[in-house]
Structure 1
Amino acid sequence: MNKYGLSAINAVQIYNKSGTNSPLDAWNQSTIELFGENTHNQKKGCPKNAFLGLCEEGLVRGVPKGNYTYRSDSLNKAYAVEAVELLRGNPLLANDKNGLWKKVMRGVKKQHNSQMDVVLALWGNGLIVLE
């Protein structure tokens, strides 16, 4: 698991245990601890917006639905939500990050930017709502 996956897991734990104000606050706290404050990796938008998009849709255990993303972040949210739907239909995709990404992209040639690391870390740790 890479640091963005770990950031997502830690952010859920921070949110659920300390009662931070929002999933964004929890994400920021987690990434500051792992990457350092104001570093490029701490500020990286794709994994953050994938995480916030899942939270926004009520797909992360313990985090209520809400408005956590900006309209401009909708692509990363859509990628993450689609990945969860695909995993629900075929949990074996959790063993193939690149295969999952290819299915999410439906033939469009684009490299993932840690969105799938976030999804798969949450999935693998039982933090995705399965209904």
Structure 2
Amino acid sequence: MARYGESAVWAARLVVEDGMTPPAAWNKAALALNPNSIDAATKLCPRTTFLTLCGEGYVKGVPRGTT
């Protein structure tokens, strides 16, 4: 799985299991999986895609409008 895919899966788990907000979960997961690259957390395309999917209710366990 690509690094952004892994970040999305981990971030989704953080949202569902730990109650984090999607933006905070994305930042934590992306930085944890890519500690030498701040770009991993700030690159807009993967981050925006994850947040949009969460906000629209397409991530299992994340209620629609949660962003």
Q: Same fold (TM over 0.5)?
A: yes
* Residue in structure 2 matched with residue 46 of structure 1 by the alignment: 45
Structure 1 gap ranges (5+)? 69-131
TM-score for both structures, normalised by structure 1: 0.47
Amino acid at match of 1:17: E
* Residue in structure 1 matched with residue 8 of structure 2 by the alignment: 8
Amino acid at match of 2:27: N
1:23–1:55 Cα contact (<8 Å) kept = yes
- TM-aligned CA distance change 1:47 to 1:17, over 3 Å: same
Superposed counterparts of 1:50-129, under 5 Å: 50-66=49-65, 68=67
Larger of the two Rg values belongs to structure: 1
TM-score for both structures, normalised by structure 2: 0.88
Count of equivalent residues: 67
After TM superposition, give the deviation of residue 66 of structure 1 in Å. 1.1
SS at match of 1:59: coil
After superposition, the C-alpha distances for 1:2-31 in whole angstroms (9 at most, x for unaligned) are: 0000000000111111111x1111111101
Distance 1:28 1:34 in 2: 10
Q: Percent identity?
A: 39
Amino acid at match of 1:13: R
After TM superposition, give the deviation of residue 41 of structure 1 in Å. 2.1
After TM superposition, give the deviation of residue 38 of structure 1 in Å. 6.7
Distance 2:32 2:15 in 1: 14
Amino acid at match of 2:52: G
Runs (4 or more) in structure 1 with deviation over 6 Å come to none
Amino acid at match of 1:9: V
After TM superposition, give the deviation of residue 36 of structure 1 in Å. 2.2
